[in-house]
Structure 1
């Protein structure tokens, strides 16, 4: 039962964080960010927000720094929007799955090009 609740809270946090990111945060270090997933521990004490960041490695690092500096604000905004006794601690991680998928697609395309020639 706790796992179902954690999944519902994670989905709600994903939605709310996306709204907060587009409407409330004005940090110039934060670039083009897409929220890909949110994982919450079963006891609802910790959460990992996975983000996909468009840009160079330096821009990605600056965006992570900006998000880390905004963590308190983000957590309080999520607390206002989702009624929980305690808002989970937040950590941000870059989601590499999109880049990994693109790399695999390039490899397959190169193999197909070699087969055709």
Structure 2
């Protein structure tokens, strides 16, 4: 029998393993075990880790506190990803440790753009016009 639909999102296992990897990365970054000039003194948050369906690749989205030098920090993390993988592997207890790839987390920036748009005069004017239409009878 052929499946007619694909799952809408990640499986529970993908989410669970992604969260394990995220937690292990956050712990590693908090300890400051990675020696690289670009990472010196950087406080790095890991808002999300997305796993591929086969659990072989972990796409980790990171953002330094304040958002400064994000590209340099992601480049440094990608340079040290084999070392990071070796530190994360024992903490996640999988048969195979996933390859970890680092990306800049763009969600904070996107949220800022949406917030700025909602505060714009044009949107505010449209919202004010809508409130005039909903007067009581």
TM class by smaller structure = 0.7 to 0.9
More strand per residue: 1 or 2? 1
**Alignment check: 8 A CA contact 2:30 2:43 kept:** no
2:22 pairs with 1:7: no
Residue ranges of structure 2 left out of the alignment (5+ in a row): 1-9, 129-137
1:22 to 30, 40, 59: 30
Residue ranges of structure 1 left out of the alignment (5+ in a row): none
2: CA distance, partners of 1:89 / 1:76: 10
Secondary structure of 1:29's counterpart equals helix
Match runs of 1:89-100 below 5 Å? 89-100=99-110
Q: Tell me the residue number matched to 1:104.
A: 114
**Number of corresponding residues:** 113
Give the TM-score normalised by structure 1. 0.82
Give the TM-score normalised by structure 2. 0.71
RMSD over aligned CA atoms reads 2.3
2:82 pairs with 1:72: yes
Superposed CA deviations along residues 26-49 of structure 1, whole A, max 9, x for unmatched, are 423023321111111121111100
Work out which of the two has the higher radius of gyration on C-alpha atoms and give 1 or 2. Answer: 2
Structure with the greater relative contact order (CA < 8 A, sep ≥ 6): 1 or 2? Answer: 1
List structure 1 segments (4+ residues) > 4 angstroms apart after TM superposition.
Answer: none
